[in-house]
Amino acid sequence: MYEIKTSMTTEEKLEILADAAKYDVACTSSGVDRKGKKGELGNCRAAGVCHTFASDGRCISLLKILMTNHCIYDCKYCINRCSNDVPRAAFTPEEICDLTVEFYKRNYIEGLFLSSGIVKSPGHTMELMCRVLEKLRTEYHFNGYIHIKAIPGVPDELIAKAGYLADRVSINMEFAGDDSLKKFAPNKNFKTIINPMEKISNTIALHRLAIGKDARMERSTGNRYLENSIFNIKRIEEAGEGYKQLPASISSGNLKRAFAPAGQSTQMIIGAGTETDYELLQTTQRLYQDYDLKRVFYSAYVPLNDDPALPAIGTPVPLLREHRLYQADWLLRYYGFRAGELLSEEKPDFNEQLDPKCDWALRHLDIFPVEIMTASFELLLRVPGIGPTGAKRIVSSRRYGSLNYEHLKKMGIVLKRAHYFITCNGKMMYKTPVEENYITRELTVVNRKENWEIVHRNQYEQMSLFDDYKLG
């Protein structure tokens, strides 16, 4: 815990603090469009820019670091918990600013992702983090993307300040339920997570209304044609008494910025707690609807600490489960599905063999096959193998002539999945019965390779005669 070596170089610090931050999933630089300005450095693009891809295939678009990995908390799942004996370091504000600006000029990164362990108290840490951001924005004239992790349990003024300086603010939920949080993160409290989340959400909404935008964040355009979409609820702002919002800007100088224009996000750990997929997905949907979160991230738990309450070190990372949850998350945000349609209390976990959309389609064979030339956009999106882009292409091109399977293939429709569920000019692609058992069997074969790759991606090992055949 004590730093014996006091004169660490920036290089050593970067290695320690980047290593400590890498388990945080969110690294997106998306959600806000901002043009560059003369005299400043940087711009932002709503679609996000990935600058490189690490050996695990995840994109690196922001300089993701902790300000410090000293921490007074003892969360069981965290590598930086105070009871762990790991090398500790802390950046100075100048070091963070220099790194960000120099990396940015060389086009290595799109901005900064700043998180931190808790030093002394949450408030003190948050204040230090705000100081870094303020320096970066005012002294270094940095106009790029900044994502800041807000720390639960800090005064509202500090969260407000972070929001005015950063583009995205996020507070990690970690677990979908209060019980798991109490068990694994005894120093954290569910209320201190949800409360600021609500306040941030309301403040963003008010800021958006003030500049003539809709109170809700922008979503994929397809959603406006989907009646069932989770985002089709009007948000009515009544800024009266009892309306929780953050105080007005207290940032110094003449820095005028919108409040967290890229919205807020959160992250949940998969596989450490006892939540079912259904609970996680319901929570996700509620977060999108009630707090208008831009993204909910899932992080498959990588066992790092030896703790009896957690999966043992060496337990395979639940990558397939994480993959299924992301698939479902996409179905909520782009396809007009609701959590209740995909899972239920009776069937609380995802099918390992089939993706959630195929699984849903097989339970609703009564509406299939659908006719490509006449089906609505909403119905097309429900067909496995047809995504938002494919559905849009079908709808726009069928106006000018009839389509056949060759055209669909050229449009990027995945026919190996879709052909069981569609007809083109009244004909199916092959003679296939629309029968649950048959299609399930066929689709399982289609998905098998993909699933196997996700699960066994990095479990190659040297074959050993003695271990594998128990000859020793």
Partner 1 sequence: MYIYTCSPDYESMLTCIYEAWASGKGHANIKLCVEPVDQYGLFDEYIYVEGNTEKAEKVSRAVWTRISQYLYWEISHALLSFEEDALDTVYRIMILGFHFGPQVTEMIQYKEVVRFREIRKLVSREVCSFQEFMRFYKVQDDVYVAHFEPRSRVIMPVAKYFMDRMPSENWMIIDDTHKEAIIHPKDEDCYMRILTDEELQALSSTESEDYYTRLWRNYFHTMGIRQRENKACQNNHFPLWMRKHATEFKEECE
Name the residues that contact partner 1, by CB under 8 A: 10-11, 14-15, 18-19, 22-23, 35-43, 49-60, 63-64, 99, 102-103, 105-108, 300, 302, 317, 319, 393, 396-397, 399-403, 407, 410-411, 457-458
Cβ distance to partner 1 smaller for residue 172 or 203: 172
| Sign of the alpha-carbon dihedral angle for 192, 197, 202, 204 | positive
User: β-pairing, 145-149 with 168-170?
Assistant: parallel
DSSP state for residue 248 in the 8-state scheme: P
What's the closest the beta carbon of residue 58 comes to partner 1, in angstroms? 8
Cβ distance to partner 1 smaller for residue 346 or 406: 406
DSSP state for residue 66 in the 8-state scheme: E
Cβ distance to partner 1 smaller for residue 120 or 410: 410
What's the closest the beta carbon of residue 39 comes to partner 1, in angstroms? 5
Cβ distance to partner 1 smaller for residue 372 or 439: 372
Cβ distance to partner 1 smaller for residue 15 or 218: 15
Q: Which long-range contacts (CB under 8 A, 24 or more apart) does 406-412 make?
A: 408/372, 412/387
Cβ distance to partner 1 smaller for residue 256 or 399: 399
What's the closest the beta carbon of residue 453 comes to partner 1, in angstroms? 8
What's the closest the beta carbon of residue 203 comes to partner 1, in angstroms? 29
Contact 418, 429 (CB under 8 A): no
What's the closest the beta carbon of residue 22 comes to partner 1, in angstroms? 5
Cβ distance to partner 1 smaller for residue 216 or 323: 323
Cβ distance to partner 1 smaller for residue 64 or 137: 64
What's the closest the beta carbon of residue 83 comes to partner 1, in angstroms? 22
Q: Where are the alpha helices (DSSP H) in 22-77?
A: none
CA distance 218 to 197: 18
Beta bridge partners of 298: 268
Instruction: Extract the tokens encoding 337.
Output: 């599905």
Nearest partner of 149 among 212, 215, 80, judged by Cα: 80
Beta bridge partners of 65: 114
Instruction: Extract the tokens encoding 12.
Output: 């050593």
Cβ distance to partner 1 smaller for residue 409 or 427: 409
Q: How remote is the C-alpha of 120 from its chain's centroid?
A: 29
Contact 384, 413 (CB under 8 A): no
Q: Which amino acid is at 264?
A: Q
Cβ distance to partner 1 smaller for residue 191 or 457: 457
What's the closest the beta carbon of residue 300 comes to partner 1, in angstroms? 8
What's the closest the beta carbon of residue 47 comes to partner 1, in angstroms? 9
Q: Which residue has the tokens 């395979």?
A: 316
What's the closest the beta carbon of residue 67 comes to partner 1, in angstroms? 16
Q: What is the largest CA-CA distance in the chain?
A: 76
In Å, what is the CA distance from 467 to each residue of 106, 315, 461, 464?
49, 18, 12, 5
What's the closest the beta carbon of residue 460 comes to partner 1, in angstroms? 10
CA distance 277 to 339: 10
Contact 453, 465 (CB under 8 A): no
Contacts of 182 (CB under 8 A, 6+ apart): none
